[in-house]
Amino acid sequence: MPLRLAASVCQTQRVLIGLFPELDAPGGIQRAGRHFALVLSEFAASKKWEYRFLSLNDSQELHRMKVGEREYVFTGAARGKARFATSALKAAGRKPKLVLAAHANLAPIVRSMNIVAPRMKSIVCTYGIEVWEPLSSIRRRSLRRATLVLAISRATADYVTSVQGVAPEKVRVLPLALDPGFETRMAAHSAGCLPPNFPQGRVILTVGRWLATERYKGMDTLIQAMPRLLLRWPDVQLVMAGAGDDREWLMNLARDSGVQRHVHFLSGLTDAELSACYAAAELFALPSRGEGFGMVYLEAMARGKPVIGGAHGGAPEVIRDGVTGYLVQHGDTVQLATSIDALLSNPELAREMGRRGRERVENDFRFQVFAKALRKILRELCES
Q: Give 346's contacts (C-beta < 8 A, 6+ positions apart).
A: none
CB of 206 closer than 8 Å to CB of 238: yes
Selection from 33, 36, 294, 69 nearest residue 180 by Cα: 69
Instruction: Give me the average pLDDT of each 10-residue run along the chain (384 residues).
Output: 44 81 92 96 96 97 89 96 97 96 98 96 96 96 98 97 98 95 68 86 96 94 98 97 96 98 96 92 96 93 97 95 97 97 98 97 95 98 88
Helix ranges restricted to H, the chain: 3-13, 28-47, 81-92, 107-116, 137-145, 154-162, 182-188, 219-232, 247-256, 271-280, 295-302, 333-345, 347-364, 367-383
Residues in the chain: 384
Q: What pLDDT is recorded for position 189?
A: 60
Cα angle for residues 288, 246, 79 (degrees, 5° grid): 90
Q: What pLDDT is recorded for position 32?
A: 95
Q: What pLDDT is recorded for position 27?
A: 85
Q: What pLDDT is recorded for position 26?
A: 85
- Please report, for the chain, the start and end positions of each structural domain, with discontinuous segments joined by +: 3-177+367-383, 182-364
Q: What pLDDT is recorded for position 349?
A: 97
> Same CATH topology for 3-177+367-383 and 182-364?
yes
Give CA–CA dist 304/205, Å, rounded: 13
**Domain 3-177+367-383, second-level architecture:** 3-Layer(aba) Sandwich (3.40)
Q: What pLDDT is recorded for position 190?
A: 56
The CATH fold assigned to 182-364 is Rossmann fold (3.40.50)
